[in-house]
Structure 1
Amino acid sequence: MKRISGGTVTGNTGATVSAAVLAVFTFGTLVAPPPAVAQNITIQALNPAAGEFPEAVALSADGGTLYSGFFLSGVVQGFRTDTLARTTSVAVPAPLGIARDRNGDMLVATAPWFRDQLTGGSSGVPQDQGVWRVTAAGVANRVAVLPFVGVLPNALATDSVGNIYVADLLGDALYRVDTVGTVSVWAQSSLLAGDPSSDPSSPTAGFPLGGNGVQVRGSTLYVSNTDYGRILAIPINADGSAGAISTYLQSDRLIGLDGFDMDDFGTVYGANIITSELVRADPSGAIITLAGPNDGLSSTTGVAINSTSNPSSLYFSNFSIPVPFLTSVNQPGVGRLSLSPTVVPEAHTLGLSLLGAAYLTGTVILRRRRARRVTAL
């Protein structure tokens, strides 16, 4: 929002309002809504015997449908957001990350190579690894092919132009697919890599998990690093290249962070695949746990909020897939967490109080000036 600097502003009534008063007004309008806390939770259990392991979630443009890809069964499944009842399903090979593009279609990151690694199979087709699009009509098409062996396309996001950014969970790179389908390495850094340590105390020892969840907000890309508990920020330069990488958030409580979503105020709603928790982290670094294993969460990986201005529902996925570094205490599923605001923070109340005082002061000044004008006449 627009900030107002020093000086004065004079309206057509002749009343002069100081910059301090305007600063109070600006402060009052810039304060984010009160933090959302969990109220109740609903989970639609899925069938692991049928390969229904949902890694990520995304909402349709109208908010009425939740989409998630079942990694082992090779299906992108829709769910009604009000009841979590199943709707349509579309076959897509080894789907992981999922995101809505600017046209309302679903973009899906696919990883048949990694599926074969987990299952001991060899059915993966190199041309199937990369990015697919699922249209509202239920048609799946390949958008781009990414490297096959050793690459794990785990999450993706789009910018306002239509470029697609894909995180490689096992590597140190972010790929970009431009609007004509050309694939390139957009950013590469050790900051994007997981922890190669063989320390047995590490929850992912021997299986480094680096760049994971991805979001684009304006001209900045945000990506989580699971092993190091970081969210990194990478500017998208005017020419489309990647800017210098910086740390947006970092905390031991974020070690294990997988997918996440962000609101308009920079607050992060994230899923922790290691602790099976949903967390809320504001830009100052304050973190609260919204739900955990006792609420039915299990190896939670995907998050989508229903509004970026004032979220009231958070949708998530329980991956619960049997891999060495995960302890899944509940079965796979997709769920909805209802959110409601807490008590209005004191700073917000103070801002509104000062705004009211400023309004009264301005009114008194205006009345005095009008009174002087009447006397002069």
Structure 2
Amino acid sequence: MAPNGDVYTSDQVTFDVYRITPGGEISRFAHLYDMYNPDAAYAGALGMEFSRTGDLWIAMLNFMEPARHGIYKVHPDGTIQLAVPMNPDEIVAPNGLAFDPFGDLYVTESINGAIWKVVKNQNLASLWLADALLVPPPSGVFGANGIVYKDRAFFVANTDAGTIIKVPVNQDGAPGNPSVFASGLNGPDGITLGPYGDLYVACCYGGQLVRIMDDGKTEVVLDSDLGYPTTPVFGKTQGEKATVYLTNFFSTMNGVPSLIKVDMCKPQRGSQNE
């Protein structure tokens, strides 16, 4: 979500990034890789995040051409650069992206289960945290996925474990002891911060949007017509701060991917209604 209200979404199959205006006009903003990949398991554009400078950072895995594997930066004028090359044998599936208040970038790796760090103005990723809580369970494939920063901690979705992991950030920038903040979720994928401070998670397996309160309690706020939701984001303009957009990897409603927009009510504490 850009500050002016434009929504950006990646297409994992075509390697395109699209811009959608508040009026619904769609245009291709960037094309990361000149190839059509119907089997998106081997390559694709995944998580995205804006930096404070207005550049759009994008995680892309590319086993077909390992030299193109890593974190891309798209400037406001649409020019593209591979900002952080990554070795796919070491960082298999770069996925979720989040910046801390200092401008350093944190990247989740979903297959091995880890968080990597890219220091501001550098082009090298270093391992920040590897922990069993970020690893997919023996019966699963996807571990650490969506990530968001809040109150000197990172909150990370472990998709196949059904958990949200809290990782405090120590004064020196090192990770503190990770812990399970919330559990029992049905495929938590993307995670974002809501307008009133709560966390919101798109649960792809359950077709749900879930709110997580400060005490770790969870509440399903949307559970119909979402298809396979992967990433939520709230609007940034004055009239849309309570509006959530969800990317839908495929849609049970019409058989194609979609972007879903929902106007939310202010959550009522202690109530199941929203």
The TM-score, its normalising length taken from structure 2, stands at 0.85
Matched, 1:184 2:126: yes
1:320 to 233, 237, 250: 250
Q: What's the secondary structure of 2:175's corresponding residue? A: coil
Q: CA deviation at 1:61?
A: 2.1
Tell me, in whole angstroms, the C-alpha distance in 2 between the residues paired with 1:74 and 1:157. 20
Which residue of structure 2 aligns with residue 89 of structure 1? 29
Matched, 1:299 2:241: no
Are the equivalent residues in 1 in contact too, given 2:6–2:20 (CA < 8 A)?
A: yes
Matched, 1:215 2:148: yes
Q: What's the secondary structure of 2:142's corresponding residue? A: coil
Which residue of structure 1 aligns with residue 59 of structure 2? 109
Matched, 1:227 2:160: yes
Which residue of structure 1 aligns with residue 50 of structure 2? 100
Which residue of structure 2 aligns with residue 76 of structure 1? 17
The count of residues paired between Structure 1 and Structure 2 equals 258
1:283 to 209, 214, 221: 214
Q: Which amino acid aligns with 2:259?
A: V
Q: Which amino acid aligns with 2:135?
A: A
Q: What's the secondary structure of 1:208's corresponding residue? A: coil
- Of residues 308-317 and 231-240 in structure 1, the stretch that sits farther from structure 2 once superposed is 308-317
Q: Which amino acid aligns with 1:331?
A: V
Structure 1 alignment gaps of length 5 or more: 1-58, 114-123, 198-206, 322-326, 347-377
Which residue of structure 2 aligns with residue 256 of structure 1? 187
> Once the two structures are superposed, what CA deviation does each residue of 1:213-262 show, in whole Å capped at 9, x if it has no partner?
01112421111111222111112223222111122222x2x130000111
Check 1:328–1:153 CA distance in 2 against 1; reply closer, same or farther (3 A cut).
Answer: farther
Q: CA deviation at 1:286?
A: 3.8
> Once the two structures are superposed, what CA deviation does each residue of 1:168-188 show, in whole Å capped at 9, x if it has no partner?
111121111112122111000
Tell me, in whole angstroms, the C-alpha distance in 1 between the residues paired with 2:73 and 2:104. 13
Tell me, in whole angstroms, the C-alpha distance in 2 between the residues paired with 1:280 and 1:84. 27
Q: What's the secondary structure of 1:191's corresponding residue? A: helix
Are the equivalent residues in 2 in contact too, given 1:177–1:183 (CA < 8 A)?
A: yes
Q: CA deviation at 1:311?
A: 3.7
> Once the two structures are superposed, what CA deviation does each residue of 1:255-286 show, in whole Å capped at 9, x if it has no partner?
30000111365411111111122222222344
Q: What's the secondary structure of 2:264's corresponding residue? A: strand
- Of residues 88-97 and 102-111 in structure 1, the stretch that sits farther from structure 2 once superposed is 88-97
Tell me, in whole angstroms, the C-alpha distance in 1 between the residues paired with 2:130 and 2:119. 17
Check 1:225–1:343 CA distance in 2 against 1; reply closer, same or farther (3 A cut).
Answer: closer
Q: Which has the higher contact order (CA 8 A, sep 6+)?
A: 1
Q: What's the secondary structure of 2:47's corresponding residue? A: strand
Tell me, in whole angstroms, the C-alpha distance in 2 between the residues paired with 1:164 and 1:284. 27
Q: CA deviation at 1:308?
A: 11
Q: Which amino acid aligns with 2:175?
A: A
Q: Which amino acid aligns with 2:256?
A: Q
Aligned runs of 1:342-357 on 2, under 5 Å? none
Q: Which amino acid aligns with 1:226?
A: T
Q: Which amino acid aligns with 1:336?
A: K
Select the structure that is richer in strand. Answer: 2
Identity of aligned residues (%): 25
Q: What's the secondary structure of 1:214's corresponding residue? A: strand
Structure 2 alignment gaps of length 5 or more: 34-43
Aligned CA RMSD, in angstroms, stands at 2.5
The TM-score, its normalising length taken from structure 1, stands at 0.63
> Once the two structures are superposed, what CA deviation does each residue of 1:18-37 show, in whole Å capped at 9, x if it has no partner?
xxxxxxxxxxxxxxxxxxxx
1:335 to 235, 242, 260: 260
Choose 1 or 2 for highest CA Rg. Answer: 1
Tell me, in whole angstroms, the C-alpha distance in 2 between the residues paired with 1:345 and 1:209. 33
Which residue of structure 1 aligns with residue 199 of structure 2? 268
Matched, 1:175 2:116: yes
Q: Which amino acid aligns with 2:73?
A: R
Select the structure that is richer in helix. Answer: 1
> Once the two structures are superposed, what CA deviation does each residue of 1:48-83 show, in whole Å capped at 9, x if it has no partner?
xxxxxxxxxxx0022x21001101101111111x23
